[in-house]
Amino acid sequence: MRRLRKTPVIRELVREVQLQRSDLIQPLFVEEDLTSDVPVSTMPGQRRLSPSSVVREANTLIEKGVKSVILFGIPRIKDENGSHADAADGVVQRTIRQLKNEFDGELVVMADVCMCQYTSHGHCGIVRDGQIDNDETLKRLASIAVSYAREGVDIVGPSAMIDGQVKTIRQGLDDQGFKETAIMAYAAKHASSFFGPFREAAFSKPEFGDRRTYQMDYSNPDEALREAALDIQEGADIVMVKPALAYLDIIRRVKDRFSMPTAAYNVSGEYSMVKAAAREGWIDEKSAVLEILTGIKRAGADMILTYHAKEAAEWLG
Ligand SMILES: [Zn+2]
């Protein structure tokens, strides 16, 4: 076996899985009220961006070879019903417009469709009597997706784990004439401890209870396949598994079963663990990140949402 490991060029010749910069999707947090960027303390290297600095950030990403971003908004006003999530002049809507005007054709603009950043209680939908009302929430999610499509978003990413969300959003988009807007479904999104650092970034910790009545139990891989099957049936163009590292088996099974474009979300906790260990000098960050991202791709992901996107692109370039 060692004959083909002899030199870097031979190793490159026989390499089976090649991580590419175009595989990477950078999540961006945009906060409505900011006049300058604020570092996210739990995610070293990540910032909450001011609306005025998003174009500059996207430009840097494009220069480094990252061609996709997914937007998360942090609004000025939150209320019970998350009524600002689909506002025509909302922070995500305005950011989509800016990015499409500036970089059309050079950048894939995606936007997360959920309510937890917009609700005062921090849950992903409309709450009635202490429970998330599934069907009331569906209408809101479709309305949010349509408001993004109006500004020209390429792909919407429903992440609420509300039953029927892909179908309702597809219907809503089609009814309004947005037949070309694609859906990347957070198909198997698990209730995970690895989301912790993101919550500090986006202020979206639920005020009561937790998200286990809608996000998946990580002990159920067959159920993850049923979730993906339903989303595909409802019209998903891309299916996602989230998180990635403790879920590589699920990524592989989803890819093998459905042969769909498959995304994996290398989440905040996975990012911050690497950053913390690197800061302590316990691991070499560059080689660890490339190994992790290649591992996620090897498991079957065609694309990876990752906070390491910018740095990894630099290292790959
Ligand atoms: Zn949510």
Predicted pLDDT of residue 165: 98
Q: Which two tokens stand for residue 132?
A: 């998330």
Sorted by where each begins, the domain ranges of the chain are 17-316
Neighbouring C-beta atoms of residue 36, cutoff 10 Å: 9
Predicted pLDDT of residue 198: 87
User: Residue 210 carries which side chain, given as an amino acid letter?
Assistant: D
Bridge partners of 36, per DSSP, are none
DSSP type of residue 76: S
CA–centroid distance, residue 37 to ligand 1 (Å): 23
Predicted pLDDT of residue 201: 78
DSSP type of residue 50: P
Q: How far is CA 4 from CA 12, 59, 119, 298, in A?
A: 10, 40, 56, 20
The four Cα atoms 244, 74, 50, 62 give a dihedral, to 10 degrees, of: 30
φ/ψ of 247, rounded to 5, equals -130, 25
Q: Which two tokens stand for residue 291?
A: 């190994």
CA–CA dist 107, 100 (Å, integer) = 8
CA–centroid distance, residue 286 to ligand 1 (Å): 31
Q: Which of 67, 78, 167, 242 is an active site residue?
A: 242
Reply yes or no on whether 242 is catalytic. yes
CA–CA dist 110, 70 (Å, integer) = 4
Reply yes or no on whether 297 is catalytic. no
CATH topology for 17-316 is TIM Barrel (3.20.20)
Predicted pLDDT of residue 61: 98
CA–centroid distance, residue 4 to ligand 1 (Å): 47
| Residue 31: alpha-carbon gap to chain centroid | 17
Return left, alpha or beta for 71; rule: phi > 0 is left, psi -120 to 50 is alpha, else beta.
Answer: beta
CA–centroid distance, residue 292 to ligand 1 (Å): 26
CA–CA dist 205, 197 (Å, integer) = 10
Q: What is the DSSP string of 275-308?
A: HHHHHTTSS-HHHHHHHHHHHHHHTT-SEEEETT
Neighbouring C-beta atoms of residue 176, cutoff 10 Å: 16
CA–centroid distance, residue 124 to ligand 1 (Å): 4
Q: Which two tokens stand for residue 20?
A: 């590419």
Predicted pLDDT of residue 205: 77
Tokens 């950030």 belong to: 57
Which residue, 187, 191, 169, is CA-closest to 179? 169
Give the residues of the chain that fall short of pLDDT 50.
none
Predicted pLDDT of residue 251: 98
Predicted pLDDT of residue 206: 85
Nearest 5 degrees, angle CA 268-CA 271-CA 273? Answer: 110
Q: Which of 64, 67, 78, 189 is an active site residue?
A: 189
Element (H, E) at 69: strand 68-74
* 70 close to 157: Cβ distance less than 8 angstroms: yes
Reported as a single tens digit per residue, the pLDDT across 181-239 is 999 999 999 999 999 998 877 777 788 888 999 999 999 999 999 999 999 999 999 99
Which residue, 35, 120, 110, is CA-closest to 68? 110
* 289 close to 312: Cβ distance less than 8 angstroms: yes
